[in-house]
Amino acid sequence: MFDFVDGTAQNHEQGQRARKLFAAVVLAALDDAIADDKKYGNGPEQIARWARSRDGREVLSCAGIDPNERVVQGLMNFVAAGVRTSVALSREESERRHAAAVAESEAA
């Protein structure tokens, strides 16, 4: 009985680690597209092409992201914003955006 529970817990843990690995691949693809956008001006098109490709759909699925058109549009919008993933995921950026949203709502 306990062997089954231990085995299930270990499989779940390995699955979570694999999902995080594929999520890191998605973040790297976003960073590459942002770099392409700054250099060549075609970042949103690049990430859209990747996300719609067979490999991109597979990576998104393995990362736990449903590879639908709404997700592709979100990735394109993220790349168009030009904020690198490391900055976007930082606490300081989150606090800055929250403060800007609060100030905007107070001004309205």
Copy the structure tokens of residue 26.
């998605």
d(CA 42, CA 40): 6
Task: Show the domain range for 62.
Answer: 2-107
CB of 83 within 8 A of CB of 77? Answer: no
Number of domains, the chain: 1
What is the rounded average pLDDT of the residues 66-87?
95
pLDDT score at 31: 97
The answer on pLDDT for 93 being more than 90 is no
How many helices (H) and strands (E) are present in the chain, helices listed first?
A: 6, 0
Instruction: Give this prediction's pTM.
Output: 0.79
* pLDDT at residue 91 greater than cutoff 70: yes
Q: At what angle do helices 54-62 and 43-52 cross, to 10 degrees?
A: 80
User: How many CB atoms are closer than 10 A to CB 17?
Assistant: 9
Q: What percent of the chain has pLDDT over 70?
A: 93
pLDDT band at 34 (very low <50, low <70, confident <90, very high): very high
- Whether the CB-CB separation of 63 and 23 falls below 8 Å is answered with yes
Per-residue pLDDT, 3? 65
Average pLDDT over residues 8-17: 83
